[in-house]
Amino acid sequence: MEAKSKDLWVFIETKEDGSAKNVGIELLNPGRELANKQGGKLVAVVVGYNTKAAVEEAGKHGADQIIVVDGEEYKVFSTDAYKLAMLHVIEKYAPTTILIGATPEGRDFAPRLSCNLKTGLTADCTGLDIDDETGNMIWTRPTFGGNLMACIMCPDNRPQMGTVRPGVFKKPAETENKAEVITEDFHVTPDQIRTEVLKVMKESAADFVDLEGADIIVSGGRGVGGADGFKILKDLADALGGVVGASRAAVDEGWISHSHQVGQTGKTVGPKLYIACGISGAIQHAAGITGSDVIVAINKDADAPIFDIADYGVVGNLFDIVPVFTEEVKKLKG
């Protein structure tokens, strides 16, 4: 497809109540810089039902223009409905670039959409840029199990498309910007939706860990030595008002559930404070925490790679250090 504009689009995924999920708003942040480099507008595309809240949020976080597809058939995600809605607006307006969150929904419909558009799709990106020479997007993503980072371009087809991990970018600051809102009256008939949601099974409160939304994360790696080692990390996390994370090594050992895993094969996070306890700092883990405002590393190996990316480092046994840290936090909180 030939692009009709230099606009960059960000897909704003919605919740069942019509509000925006974090990842779409986060992508407006790099989207602003990339749209400026392309010489086009930053356009938010909202698909869902009763989407007023999502539209308002996209506007106040910097979108120049918002394209809305609203209908009851979009209340519950279905691959067919979302793909057809996006296909309609893309073929009509023909943007140059599209960013989609690498959520279960985004990972589902984005490949089908790119196939229909006969263009490429770079999945699970953790870095975005534009090549000054060609104007092509540079999509950066982990490969070979996270041991290498690949830079991928799609020079011959448009739109350029990529899914981007949640938590990689921070939400942009609110602005006084007044976005133009375009409502597309596009509806999908029941016979066009080939699947039906029979039951939604949500994680129990005990299993759910909101790593992507957490301001403070206390994570443990192989150095915690076992499941019992996570008890002192939870004490610290509770004292700080945070949650417990883990490296892949700890999850693979069965010490803690996969829902706590941080890194390339887990969740990419960007908390205000990330405390890594007994984590060596392999590239797969490091790439998942680079969005953190402050990283504190506690490790008895002074040469551990985690210290290369940490803002503060403590060399020592975590079982000696973490309980003292916890007590000091409790004292400060009175």
User: CA 45, CA 100: separation in Å to the nearest integer?
Assistant: 10
Q: How far is CA 83 from CA 187, 196, 199, in A?
A: 12, 15, 22
CB–CB of 5/96 below 8 Å?
yes
Query: Counting every residue, how long is the chain?
Result: 334
User: CA 301, CA 328: separation in Å to the nearest integer?
Assistant: 24
Six token digits for residue 145: 């199990």
Residue ranges of the annotated binding site for FAD are 222, 247-248, 261-265, 278-285, 299
Six token digits for residue 69: 């597809």
Residue ranges of the annotated binding site are 222, 247-248, 261-265, 278-285, 299
Helix 104-117, helix 79-93: angle, nearest 10: 50
Adjacency order of strands within the sheet including 312-315: 243-246, 216-220, 273-277, 294-299, 312-315
Residue 280 makes CB contacts below 8 A (sequence gap 6+) with: 221, 222, 223, 247, 299, 301, 304, 305, 306
Rg (alpha carbons) of the chain, rounded to whole number: 21
